[in-house]
């Protein structure tokens, strides 16, 4: 049905078929380039969620020859402009952190967007404000408050929060904190978080433990199957 509706130009159907091909779900064979093609079609028809999903593919390089960060952020901004909450979070978070220097604006603008989302009960916003406290960006640094907000966000279904909890635990550089980090990153990775999967794989590979190395390889293989160029590169290094 979705394929038929997509052939007739339905934005939602185009998005669904695109996601099915990206993930190998809904009876569709895994075919990331084809999935990206459908998401782009839906995006051009004005579907805000498709704009954001397409932006993620541009960011990671999934279904493409290489990532394109500049084009990715253009689609994030377009999606945010149409009110898609996750895109608004990404835009606010990028303005706050400024890691990619990909969008024009000030950290204060990003924090304002994240606070708006948090006040509206959106766990994405709660995550963003939590990270702001963890690193002291736009607010006085308060790691305890940051962790509280991240755990609140996670309890409300935003499993991406576990990725940042894992990163924070790694910063403590103690054996006990490493155990927590592996646990947090593992939860995020199982939820499908690609960055958490890659980070966890790197942490496990660095341990020198054969069992953890095998687990790391399984994580990289799953990420590579989803089109991650970074995972594919790490697996190639292992085989050389």
pLDDT, averaged across the chain: 89
Q: What pLDDT score does 9 carry? A: 63
Helix and strand numbers, DSSP H then E, in the chain: 14, 0
For 173-213, what is each residue's pLDDT tens digit? 999 999 999 999 999 999 999 999 999 999 999 999 999 99
End-to-end CA distance of the chain: 45
Residue 135: is it exposed, middle or buried by C-beta count within 10 angstroms (0-12/13-18/19+)?
Answer: middle
State yes or no: pLDDT of 228 exceeds 60.
yes
Residue 150, SS3 per DSSP: helix
Question: In 70-90, which positions are buried (b, 16+ CB within 10 angstroms) versus exposed (e)?
Answer: eebbbbbbbbbeeebbbbbbb
Q: What pLDDT score does 196 carry? A: 95
Q: What pLDDT score does 183 carry? A: 97
For 22-42, what is each residue's pLDDT tens digit? 888 878 888 999 999 999 999
Task: State both tokens at 117.
Answer: 């989302």
Q: What pLDDT score does 12 carry? A: 86
Residue 174, SS3 per DSSP: coil
């Amino acid at each position: 049905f979705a394929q038929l509706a997509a052939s007739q130009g339905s934005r939602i159907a185009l998005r669904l078929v695109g996601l099915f091909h990206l993930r190998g779900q809904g009876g569709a064979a895994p075919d990331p380039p084809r999935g990206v093609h459908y998401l782009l079609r839906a995006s051009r028809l004005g579907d805000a969620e498709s704009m954001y999903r397409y932006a993620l593919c541009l960011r990671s390089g999934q279904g493409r020859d290489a990532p394109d960060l500049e084009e990715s952020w253009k689609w994030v901004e377009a999606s945010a402009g149409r009110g898609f909450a996750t895109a608004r979070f990404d835009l606010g978070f990028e303005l706050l952190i400024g890691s990619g220097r990909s969008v024009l604006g000030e950290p204060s603008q990003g924090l304002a967007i994240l606070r708006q989302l948090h006040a509206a009960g959106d766990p994405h916003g709660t995550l963003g404000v939590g990270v702001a406290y963890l690193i002291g960006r736009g607010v006085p640094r308060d790691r305890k408050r940051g962790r509280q907000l991240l755990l609140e966000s996670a309890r409300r279904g935003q499993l991406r929060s576990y990725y940042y909890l894992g990163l924070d635990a790694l910063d403590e550089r103690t054996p006990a904190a490493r155990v927590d980090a592996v646990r947090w990153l593992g939860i995020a990775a199982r939820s499908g978080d690609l960055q958490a999967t890659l980070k966890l794989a790197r942490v496990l590979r660095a341990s020198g433990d054969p069992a953890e190395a095998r687990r790391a390889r399984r994580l990289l293989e799953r990420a590579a199957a989803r089109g991650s160029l970074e995972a594919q590169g790490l697996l190639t290094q292992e085989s050389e």
